[in-house]
Structure formats: C-alpha cells, structure tokens
Chain A
Amino acid sequence: MHDAPPPLFRTWPRMYAAVVAWLVLMIVLFDLFTRSFNR
C-alpha cells in the first residue's frame, strides 16, 4: 500500500484520533503545570 499510514496506526482515521488525543494530553499536562506552579 503506497499511501498507507505507519503500521502502528493501521488506518488514517486512527492516526488522526491519536493526534487529537495527543492535543488533549498536552492540554491536561499544561493545566496541571499551571495549577502546580503558577501563583
């Protein structure tokens, strides 16, 4: 398959979902960072 996504994700929609999940994780971590350190 010339246009297949990386084997880890198998399909493109799964890869897109992983990117969105990554964004959500970043937001959660940044929020934790703000609550822990910002005064």
Chain B
Amino acid sequence: MRAIDWLVMACALSGVILYGLWRARGSNTTEKFLLANKTMPWYAMALSIMATQASAVTFISTTGQSYVDGMRFVQFYFGLPLAMVVVAAVVVPRFLSSGVYTAYEYLERRFDAKTRSLVSALFLLSRGLAAGVTLAAPAVVMTAILGWPEEWTTIGVGMVVIAYTVTGGISAITWADFVQMLIMTAGLAAALLSAVLLLPRDVSFSDAIAVAGAAGRLNPITWQFNPNDQFNIWSGLLGGMFLMLAYFGCDQSQVQRYLTGKSIAQSRLSLLFNAVAKVPMQFSILFIGAMVFVFFTFEKPPVLFNPVALARAEKKTEFAGVRAAYDKAFAARRAAALALSDAPDTVQAFKSAQKDLDATRRQAATLASDGVKPVVDTNFIFLTFVTRHLPAGLVGLLLAAIFGAAMSVSSAEVNSLATVTVIDVYKRHWNRDGDDRHYLRASQWATVFWALFAVGTAQLVKNLGSLVVVVNLLGSFFYGGLLGVFALAFFFPRVKGTAAFTAVLCGEAAIFAAWKFTSMAFLWYNVVGCAVVVAVGLGMSALRDPDST
C-alpha cells in the first residue's frame, strides 16, 4: 500500500458514505428510515440489490475459483433470471400493494401471528449469525495479505456501517450501494485490463485465450448432470432457481431493497435489471480469474498464495524438495505456454506440466496443514495479484471495492435485522401503542445492536474457523422452509395458518433429516424443504376441510 493507494481508498469509501448520507438527509420518520417513503427509482434499487448480493468474499473467491477450477461456477447463476421473473410477477405486487414493512408481516395477514413469529425467528437466527461471517471472512484474508490486525478490519467496517445506517436508514444504504457498485465495476474493469496488459510483450490476447483454454479454464458450460456438483447447467437452472427464489423473494435483507420502490413497475424493473445483468457480470469476474491464471503462467506465483500457510510449509525440511519440483514444473509450463501459439500440438506438454505444478502445490498444502487444518488457498489468489502486481492507485481502488462490498452486505443485513426486530417482534408483541418517533428510535437502537452483534460474532468466528461452516450450513437449513411457506401463501389460498405453521416445522425437520442421513448437496435442501412444506400444508388443509383444496 503506497500513499496514493491510501488516498484513493479513503476518497472512494468516504465518497460512498457521504453521498449516501447526503441523499438520506431528513430520515426522521419510521417509514423514511425503513422504507425511504417508497420513493426509490428502479436504478437505485437495482444497483443496491446487486451490491447486497456481491460480498467481499464473492469478489475475492470467485476470481480464485476460476483460477483453480475454471469458469463453470457461472452456471450457478443461471437460475437467477428465472427466479427474478417469478419474484417480479408474483411477489412484488403482493408485498407492495399490501403495504408491509417486512416479508414476514405479510404472513400474519395471510396466515396468523404464530406463523409470522416462527418465520421471523428463523430469519433473525440465520441472518444474525451470517452478519458476523460477512465481516469475518474478508478480514481473515486482508490480515494475511496486508498484515493489518483482524480486529481493525471487522471493527472498522462495523463502525462505518453503524455511522451511516443509524443516521440515514435505508435511503443512505441504497444510495451508498449505488456509488459502491460503480466503484466495484471500475475496479473489476481495471483488474481485467491490468491482467491482460501486464502479460509479457510477446504474449497477445489471443495467446492468453489459448493458454487459459489449454488449462481447461474457459469452461462456462457443463452439460453433464451431477447432483453432488452444483456447477453444471441443470443444477444451476433448477437448484440455483430455488436458492435465488428464497434469497430474493423471502429474505428480508433483499426484500427490503424493493419494498422502497415508488411503484410496482419500478420495483419489478430493479429485479429484471439484475436478471439481465448478473450472468454477464459473473462471467466477467470469472474471466478475470482466468486471465490472472494466464498472468501467473508467465510470472512465477508463490507456491501457496496464503502467506500464513506458506510460512508454515517453509519450516518443514521436506519443503526444499517440493520447491525444487515446483520451480521445475513452472519452468516447463511456461515454456509450453510460449510454444502454444506457434505449435498447437504442445497442448499435451502444457497439460502435463500443469498437472505436475498442481501436484507440488498439493504437497506444499499438505506440509502446511500439519495433518489437521486443510489449507484454503483460493481466497488469497486475487488479492496476491492485486497487491503485488497492480500499479499504484489501482490497489487502493480494488481495496475500496472489496471493503465497499463488505459494507454494502453488512449494512443491508443490520438494517433488515433491525426492521424485523422492531416491526415483527417489538411492535407486534411488546409495545403496540408507541408513536412514530418511538419506533424510529427503536429502529436506530436495533440497528446499533445488530451491528455490534455482528462485530462480536465476527471475533468469535475467526478464532473458530469451523464456525463459518456451521453458520453457512444454518443458512441453507432455513431457506427451504421459508420458500415453502411463501409458496403456500401465494399459490394455495385455501391453506390456513395452523396448516402453514405445522408445514414449516415439518419442512425444517425434513431438511434436518436430509443433512443427518444423506450426502445430498446443500443446494438441494431448498428444493426438499419447499416441497415438504407445500405437501404437508396441502395435506393438512385437505384433511381438515376436504372441500378446500
């Protein structure tokens, strides 16, 4: 980090926050604080939805994923446009015309108070814990690459988020997201251009494509269905659609973005913009990863990108042998890559050198793991490229984009958690007679509480790495039940409250059983949970009132 990088990063991030606060001035009623008085245009909501989905981890691990495994991860997003069409057609008009503040408030109007309370509790539990991971995950990588103490990054991001979410509410969040998305796009474009321009002078763009293709990295489509591998076109279309339906249709951290729309049409357009833009955007991010792979074919990368793991491996006596084998494989691969454009039949030589190189990296990772903790290297690749090879100024821009991504996700989470806490819990069960000013204050205090809770959880999570797995698992547990109960609400008007409540519990039990007794991929929990909820809801309605279904 040079002085100019600090300057660029400080200017970009303060620009994001100050613009958000300026646009949100006068957030002095509950409706303005939580729903922006329903005045948002489609383009602000569209970029806010995009920024909320793109976390810091998306940024650093998607590029790394492409580096090690190619572009097939893009297929995971094929279900998104289909889900957006369903949400725009079915969910948006119902939520907006009923005038609710939260998705779960709608459930009481449609079913009863206990269903609303159950689903709100599921949301608060899973999203509350996930908010800690949002802060902790990028901090671990930032610490390893930049050497900043982890507490600085989690507490720093947490405090900045409090500053603009408590004062400006959702207006500040939406407009800050808007600017943050522009910075992120600029950062990604700069990274892509740099990766290509920094290649050796005699390596053209078409040579780079040949190298990435020979390495099998240009593989955005896999037609072969494999239920345990979510990166093929069928898993992406079906499993991805169910996941995105739950995320955009039932998760308050996304629903609240489009509840601020000034009309049904504006909210629909914000979702459909994402339906069109997200797949090409993910393709571009993955293509950056493939180009970074080509860059590191000609510029020698460290044996392991994770500096902490590399330091551990270097202490082992066997490491000298591994490094010698690595150097040899790298030189062979570089020579084969240079020959690719002249003699396409050298692809086999390239592939076998690539195989040798991967084998030495695995050996180094085994040395670093001490036989206990597996080494995660993927998340460190992109940041290694950014901090060691990008020109001055661009490093600051990319770090601003990554911190901005963490802030946009975190602000959406604490704001939606506060909204559900005040609207679905406090105002519903504890204090129904307060005035507007009282609920505004309550919303602000709830925002502070959830931001501090996220910072606290982040400290716990990073000390217990396995907790991240548990939190992500919890998230995939609840989406199936959530999706099922909204499917009952929208499509099966005869199903009533008690049937819906019982169906959610049965759906969650089915997901738990799937986790306990099968090796099913997490992606399919949403499909199983949703199907069980709908089946039980319909079955109970038919038993209670045979004429009803």
Contact = CB atoms under 8 A, between A and B. Distances in A.
B220 A30 contact: yes
Interface in A1-39: 2-6, 12, 15-16, 19-20, 22-23, 26-27, 30-31, 33-34, 37-39
A16 to B, nearest CB: 5
Contacts of B264: 3
B313 interface: no
B258 interface: no
B89 A39 contact: no
B213 interface: yes
Contacts of B272: 15-16, 19
B85 A30 contact: no
Interface string B205-217: 0000110111011
A2 B38 CA distance: 14
A39 B220 contact: no
B74 interface: yes
Nearest to B79: A23
Contact of B265 (A4, A19, A37): A4
B279 A26 contact: yes
Contacts of A2: 263, 265
Given A34-B220, A38-B218, A39-B213, A23 B89 contact: no
Nearest to B96: A3
A15 B78 CA distance: 18
B212 A37 contact: yes
B50 interface: no
B146 interface: no
Given A3-B265, A37-B209, A37-B213, A20 B218 contact: no
Interface centre among B209, B210, B219 (most CB of A within 10 A): B219
Contacts of A38: 70, 213, 216-219
Contacts of A5: 265, 268-269
A23 B283 CA distance: 13
A20 B82 contact: yes
B339 to A, nearest CB: 14
Interface in B445-459: none
Contacts, number: 69
A25 to B, nearest CB: 10
B238 to A, nearest CB: 13
A20 B70 CA distance: 25
B221 interface: yes
A20 B84 CA distance: 10
B283 A30 contact: yes
Contacts of A20: 81-82, 85
Interface string B265-277: 1001100100110
A34 B219 contact: yes
Interface string B192-211: 00000000000000000110
Interface string B517-528: 000000000000
A34 B275 contact: no
A37 B265 CA distance: 41
Contacts of B84: 19
Contacts of B420: none
A19 B271 CA distance: 11
Nearest to A13: B89
B233 interface: yes
Contacts of A16: 85, 88-89, 272
Nearest to B214: A39
A34 B221 contact: yes
Contacts of B280: 26
Nearest to B275: A19
Nearest to A9: B272
A6 B42 CA distance: 12
B263 A3 contact: yes
A3 B268 CA distance: 9
A10 to B, nearest CB: 13
Contact of B81 (A3, A4, A22, A37): A22
B347 interface: yes
A24 B233 CA distance: 12
Nearest to B88: A16
A23 B82 contact: yes
Nearest to A4: B265
B232 to A, nearest CB: 12
Contacts of B233: 27
14 contacts: A3-B265, A5-B269, A6-B269, A12-B88, A19-B85, A19-B272, A20-B81, A22-B81, A23-B81, A33-B218, A34-B218, A37-B209, A37-B218, A39-B213
